[in-house]
Structure 1
């Protein structure tokens, strides 16, 4: 029976996956005994001796001063308690409500207090009532966790199938580590948020079935000494669905490039005998920033979409023309599915970008694009005024250019468009005109790249900003 307690449910997931089952109710008592024996043997390895010392301090797993008789008694209590006769149990499990005859402390369940301390317990009684089944599940949860930065990292999802798949994947990794003769030989992984996204994308289930239902919470905890602590990172369902959607053909190539660009730079030298920083020790900024969504979507767009697109197109400066990547499509999907901006708003941004592209193709006004491109690096208070003045100049340029050719042109920017795109933001995360500007830049760059405009104007992608000249447009037309 699931309890909605993360440690217990992850432990149940480990047991269920061990016997290749889907429903916890299908696990028999004989199988629980078999699993308890397997757990006792697995936890005797040097790797788990190190791992469990931060979760079950002074327990029978890690306490070298504990006599064999007491150690056997302690292991029987936490691993084989379900074999005892439940008659005479006068307590109730705090997690599932079943009869309980055992009171747990920090050496049995992480983050509880030690023996003799009455803080946070009712009726002046120390310890927490727990039934033998939940106690076994707690003992099993480290097997469904990863050791990251010296702490236990595990995942609890609304969709129990997700919990099972990730717990099973972590269990297989831990079984490999348990074969090592020295604990120090195991990978020293870091950055729990990065590791979760990596594992989420690699789990086989997500290559076969429909996208997961519900949200996910990641736990990173230690129960060691006086530094017991826990960190929790929550990913709502819309973020998980967004990550899942990135595997589709429409987004996959661009997403892979974004993930590649976001990896930290490994060090070339490590400690003596080491080759340097390994990939599992590096943060991926893209994966880390997913946890700031949806509230941090403006920064996400600028960091991973705008700068990613710019980095891509700058390859032209080195004479390398690459396949077109669809940053705009990812930005559009992010705005619609994660930020939940109206589709009409997204379409207005797209239309404005397309009109500006048409204007540039007709006039070759590389001065306008260069100014617009460099606005992202300016003071935001000065930037908005410059943006507005830039559009006014572009309209004037279009009028004069059309008059010189004896043609009537449609203005690149209208009043209604400007208000709708830059002034009227109704999303709950306080979006502003800078988001509109960034999305327009992404769309413009993709269209101009596709139409070979950058091939004729490679110099405009250089970082140096053009010198200010208020009469530049008039000089060009003269």
Structure 2
């Protein structure tokens, strides 16, 4: 699911069995706290002022590099980290800003009457704009924001955390993407990988070139593919290691906070049922190979600006888009040209149960019906019936083909009905009729699988005829 917003949003856990220590839901604050805890090696609440200052020194070292300065325009526009008017004072002003936040974390003011909009703590009456808090407001341009405010009230603790959140960002589509999940352990473990990579890149001097990206970047040009890449990675590694279950929910916040025509934020949500399906695919060599083969058929065939990158990093994929939009992809499981299934039936069943929420009884009834139609086609040598089912464009056409297949079944002298009335009305054809195309596609996939031998022979004969015709010409 993808949403686009232009307003503000509104943990640390070493072991999966531990209870979360906080209920902060803002993704920027959560990511920043995780980053601080990785750098300090302890829970944020137990970090001393000296430890926090050491972490900010590392942060400023990164932010002052040319590579990071370029990326921060989309996160903290016109901030002290990148404001050109500060010239040589950017480092000093940035350190003073962060140090002042650390001092104010444990020294609440007596006259605090505003609360933090993220955690509910006293905000010490300081108001922050988008320079410090992404999407919060834009100072004097109050007509674009709620209640004509110049910014929002946030406590020093959350402001400090947000300054660290870019460390856990994932670059995609040329913009920062913040990764969020209800599983803090997953964020912590992946955050360690990201920060370890950032430290290596900093030590190598890579950030001294502004042509490079400061953010963690795997060169994905499409945020949807980037989200699924994370899902494939998490399910292949972290599920096996026990860091997360097979039913996590992952959100990618694609951020554009730049002052010139900002697009706001696009939210790409991968729900837990799709992650569960992806996890089962990635942890089976057979399924994984079939799934990647399916994906390879559905990348957009548009001219790519960067031909040095693989297509799965640059081009949109219809399968990924349909999954995020909660649209069925059963139509993609078959190749009508070669009359063959693309992925095995048991993987299709897995998809139907986990993603389309079909119960096993309905799947079994559709499978039995398809197998019996295949039997009538084989025994009566009536391959036209298959083509008629494949080409059914309306419910009436499809239903009529099922009826004719039932007549064929009776003519074969079968004692049991091909499909019972209750199965036909409640299982095969849903009450609102909207899912009939899924039923048709499932039957076609199963027919292609069951009739593979005769369809393959027919295809071979057609190829020989075409070749002979070409030779004669």
Q: Does 1:36 align with 2:56?
A: yes
Equivalent in the alignment of 1:218: 252
**Superposed counterparts of 1:86-125, under 5 Å:** 86=107, 88=109, 90-91=111-112, 92-101=115-124, 102-117=126-141
Equivalent in the alignment of 1:58: 78
CA contact (8 A) 2:32 2:165 kept: yes
- Which piece of structure 1 moves more, 232-241 or 244-253? 244-253
Equivalent in the alignment of 1:202: 233
Structure 2 distance, partners of 1:26, 1:258, is 49
Q: SS at 1:13's partner residue?
A: helix
CA contact (8 A) 1:166 1:199 kept: no
Q: Normalised by the size of structure 1, how large is the TM-score? A: 0.77
- Gap regions ≥5 residues in structure 2: 1-21, 464-473
Structure 1 distance, partners of 2:316, 2:460, is 33
CA contact (8 A) 2:366 2:428 kept: no
Q: Does 1:285 align with 2:318?
A: yes
Equivalent in the alignment of 1:156: 180
Cα drift, residue 355 of structure 1: 0.8
Cα drift, residue 148 of structure 1: 2.3
Cα drift, residue 153 of structure 1: 0.7
Structure 2 distance, partners of 1:389, 1:333, is 29
Q: SS at 1:66's partner residue?
A: helix
CA contact (8 A) 1:266 1:277 kept: no
Equivalent in 289, 301, 305 of residue 333 of structure 2: 305
CA contact (8 A) 1:55 1:224 kept: yes
Structure 1 distance, partners of 2:92, 2:324, is 44
Cα drift, residue 43 of structure 1: 1.1
- Which piece of structure 1 moves more, 168-177 or 45-54? 168-177
Equivalent in 371, 391, 402 of residue 354 of structure 1: 371
Cα drift, residue 270 of structure 1: 4.7
CA contact (8 A) 1:104 1:129 kept: yes
- Count the aligned residue pairs: 425
**Superposed counterparts of 1:45-444, under 5 Å:** 45-69=65-89, 72-78=92-98, 81-84=101-104, 86=107, 88=109, 90-91=111-112, 92-101=115-124, 102-117=126-141, 126-172=150-196, 174=198, 179-186=206-213, 189-203=220-234, 204-209=237-242, 210-211=244-245, 215-228=249-262, 229-249=264-284, 251-265=287-301, 267=303, 270=305, 275=308, 279-293=312-326, 296-297=327-328, 300-302=329-331, 304-307=332-335, 310=336, 326-375=343-392, 380=393, 383-398=394-409, 402=412, 412=418, 415-425=421-431, 431-444=434-447
Structure 1 distance, partners of 2:47, 2:301, is 46
Equivalent in the alignment of 1:474: none
- Which piece of structure 1 moves more, 192-201 or 389-398? 389-398
Structure 2 distance, partners of 1:416, 1:225, is 61
**RMSD (Å), alpha carbons:** 3.3
Structure 1 distance, partners of 2:337, 2:81, is 52
Structure 2 distance, partners of 1:434, 1:216, is 29
Equivalent in the alignment of 1:468: none
Change (3 A) 1:163 1:61: same
Change (3 A) 1:408 1:285: closer
Q: SS at 1:230's partner residue?
A: strand
Change (3 A) 1:166 1:437: same
Structure 2 distance, partners of 1:346, 1:262, is 26
Cα drift, residue 62 of structure 1: 1.0
- Gap regions ≥5 residues in structure 1: 315-323, 463-478
Equivalent in the alignment of 1:453: 454
Structure 1 distance, partners of 2:149, 2:390, is 67
Structure 2 distance, partners of 1:129, 1:398, is 72
Equivalent in the alignment of 2:12: none
CA contact (8 A) 1:155 1:166 kept: no
Structure 2 distance, partners of 1:172, 1:281, is 26
Cα drift, residue 76 of structure 1: 1.9
1:234-272: CA deviations, max 9, x gaps?
A: 2322222222222243733322322333334575x757x
